[in-house]
Amino acid sequence: MDLGLNGKLIIVTGGGAGIGRAITSCCLAEGARVVVLSRINPDVTSFFSELRNTNAACELIELELDDFAACVRAVREIEQQHGDVFALINNAGVNDGVSLTSGDLASFEKSLRNNLTHAFVLAQACLPSLKRSRGTIINISSKVAITGQGGTSAYAAAKGGLLALTREWAAELLPFGIRVNAVLPAEVMTPLYRSWLLGLGDPEATLARIEHTIPFEHRMTSPAEIASAVVFLLSPIQSGHTTAQHVIVDGGYVHLDRALTAPSRLE
C-alpha cells in the first residue's frame, strides 16, 4: 500500500524512545525523512546509534521542549536545512503524577508546559511550512483524557487539551488543506511503563492484572500498533479525507463493557 510519504519531512517530538521510537521507525520505513526533537537519554542514544549504522534519513535535535524559544529555533533550522515540514507529530509527554490533592499550582503549570504548551508552540512555528505542503498534525493523547485515572490532574488536563486542540486546529486549518488528528494509546508496553512495573513489589502479578482488564486478547498494545495508526493518518493518499478524529488504539480498553473481562468470561 502506497502511503505517499516517500521523501516527506516529518518532525516527531520524543521520537527516540517508546511510542515515539516506533513512530520514527515506521515513518522511516515508508521513506519519510524524520527529525526528532528530544532530550538525550540512554534509549535515545542507543536508537540513534542503530540508525547511524543504517544511514537512515533521520536527525536528532537535542532540546528541552519547555524551552519554547529553542523549539522555534529548531523548526527554523529544520526548514533551512531540509525544506518545508509536511507533518508534526506531538508525541512527547510524561505522566508526572501532579494531582489535585498533592500538587500545587507551580507543579501543575510546569506539567502543562511539559505536556501541552510545546504542542501549540511547535504547531504555530510549523504553520507556514504546513500551509505550503498542505500537511498534517497528529497529537498523541492518552486514554486518561477520556477515562480519568486518579492522581494525575495535570497530565489529564494536558492530554484532554490535546484532544480539544485537535478539533480546534482541524477547524481552523481547513482552508489550508491541513488535516489534524489525534491517536490515543491506553496500556502500551514502553520502557517507561516497564520501569514503572519493575519498581513495584510484584511486577508480573501487576502486569497480569492489567492485561486481564484489556478486552481484546488480554494483552498490552505494542508501540508498533500505535505507530501504524499514526502513519496511516499521516498518509495524504490513504487518509486524505480524515481530519478531526480521535483514534483510540487500545484493544477495547476504553469503550468495551468491563463485564467482558469478568473471570467467568475467561474460563
Reply yes or no on whether 193 is catalytic: no
Q: Phi/psi at 105 (nearest 5 deg)?
A: -60, -40
Rounded-to-integer distance, Cα 45 and Cα 50, Å: 9
Secondary structure of 161-213 as H, E, C letters: HHHHHHHHHHHHCHHHCCEEEEEEECCECCHHHHHHHHCCCCHHHHHHHHHHC
Q: In one letter, which amino acid is 232?
A: F
Identify the active-site residue in 48, 155, 169, 193: 155
Rounded-to-integer distance, Cα 248 and Cα 245, Å: 9
Burial 1-39 (b: 16+ CB within 10 A, else e): eebbbeebbbbbbbbbbbbbbbbbbbbbebebbbbbbbe
Catalytic residue list: 155
